[in-house]
């Protein structure tokens, strides 16, 4: 066991990938000498060389296209996109090429590309630097989407992503990069597609992932003071989603709140609410309630606290659920 921040856990995971797979390499803007905007790749170019940790031009479409070509030729590239909102120049390459490569070639070509994207708000920045575009990628078949919330998962899930023969979008909660946690470097985390109950409870279920897991845990702790036992489920994977784990929890508690930083409209929460309503309707004591961002461009930093889901918004959602 060792204590790491989420950022350094990803660094350690990437280091292990580079050590164990000579066909793996990292590519992205300023990831070499600078070590990335958040220093997640710090020191890796010095240790593995400029051929394995490649500083790219400022051209996201070129980064993704290069990775696709390398993957077809037998390499395992891991790309970094500096900020969530910068991924869109490469969106066409991801959704029309990368995601469809295996199906288009009838399985002859895999596309083992990992695309690391720091995402979410809470850092005092603006649009293009604080967005949560995971639903746009989840709608595209052929992509796996991982979203760790703690250091242990981050360390192991980046390695799982690198070992995947299918493309992986790896969303990293940037405002939690400095959150410390215990990392067991000997015993792997559960597979990313397996949701985990991070706080057991009996009265209601909160389902979330990535940066809002600490918020959900804090809300559950606050609700405990009112005598309510809240279960918190960390999805860990946005595509595929472990619906069995969610349904099992809701069948026990009878109530569901789903929360994410992305806008509620068209978000992952809507899919989860619909699926749970289909599969666990007779067990539910109240409708599923979604808590997310507003359907608007990400606001200026002075008012982002009003945009982001927080403890009060989750407690309000729980109150509304218990009012039924």
Q: Which residues are catalytic?
A: 129
With b for 16 or more beta-carbon neighbours within 10 A and e for fewer, the 52-65 pattern comes to bbbebeeebeebbb
Q: Determine the longest span between alpha carbons in the chain, in angstroms.
A: 60
Separation of alpha carbons 55 and 23, rounded Å: 17
Strand 114-119 and strand 53-55: the pairing is unpaired
* CA–centroid distance for 17 within its chain: 19
Category of 30 on φ-ψ map: left (φ > 0), alpha (ψ -120 to 50) or beta: left
How many other CB atoms sit within 10 Å of the CB of residue 254?
Answer: 17
Euclidean distance between CA atoms 122 and 18, whole angstroms: 31
Taken in order 245, 251, 257, 258, is the CA torsion positive or negative?
positive
Q: How many helices (H) and strands (E) does the chain have?
A: 12, 14
Question: In terms of Cα–Cα distance, which of 247, 255, 244, 252 is closest to 288?
Answer: 255
Reported for 54-57, long-range contacts at CB under 8 A and 24+ positions apart, including other chains, are 54/25, 54/26, 54/27, 54/28, 55/28, 55/29, 55/30, 55/31, 56/27, 56/28, 56/29, 56/31, 57/29
Secondary structure class of 94 (helix, strand, coil): helix
Rounded to an integer, what distance in angstroms lies between the CA atom of residue 262 and that of residue 290?
11
- CA dist 219 and 191 (Å) reads 26
How many Å apart are CA 37 and CA 55, to the nearest integer?
12
Nearest to 243 by CA among 271, 206, 215: 271
């Amino acid at each position: 066991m060792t204590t790491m921040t989420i950022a350094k856990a990803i660094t350690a995971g990437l280091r292990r990938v580079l050590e164990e797979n000579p066909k793996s390499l990292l590519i992205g803007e300023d990831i070499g000498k600078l070590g990335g905007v958040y220093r997640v790749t710090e020191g890796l170019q010095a240790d593995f060389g400029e051929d394995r940790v490649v500083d790219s031009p400022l051209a996201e479409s070129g980064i993704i296209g290069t990775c696709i070509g390398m993957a077809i030729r037998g390499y395992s590239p891991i790309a970094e996109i500096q900020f969530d909102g910068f991924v869109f120049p490469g969106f066409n390459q991801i959704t029309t090429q990368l995601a469809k490569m295996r199906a288009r070639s009838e399985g002859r070509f895999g596309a083992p590309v990992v695309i690391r994207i720091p995402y979410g708000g809470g850092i005092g920045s603006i649009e293009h630097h604080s967005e949560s575009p995971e639903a746009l990628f989840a709608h595209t078949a052929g992509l796996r989407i991982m979203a760790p919330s703690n250091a242990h998962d981050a360390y192991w899930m980046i390695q799982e992503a690198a070992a995947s023969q299918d493309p992986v979008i790896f969303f990293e909660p940037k405002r939690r990069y400095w959150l410390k946690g215990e990392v067991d470097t000997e015993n792997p985390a559960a597979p990313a597609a397996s949701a985990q109950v991070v706080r057991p409870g009996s009265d209601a279920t909160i389902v979330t992932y990535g940066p809002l897991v600490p918020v959900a845990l804090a809300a559950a702790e606050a609700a405990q003071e009112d005598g309510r036992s809240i279960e918190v489920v960390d999805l860990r994977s946005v595509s595929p989603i472990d619906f069995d784990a969610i349904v099992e929890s809701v069948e026990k508690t009878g109530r569901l709140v789903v929360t994410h930083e992305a806008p509620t409209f068209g978000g992952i929460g809507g899919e989860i609410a619909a699926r749970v309503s289909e599969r666990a309707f007779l067990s539910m004591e109240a409708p599923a309630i979604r808590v997310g961002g507003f359907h608007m461009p990400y606001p200026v930093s002075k008012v982002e606290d009003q945009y982001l889901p927080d403890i009060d918004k989750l407690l309000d959602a729980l109150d509304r659920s218990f009012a039924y």
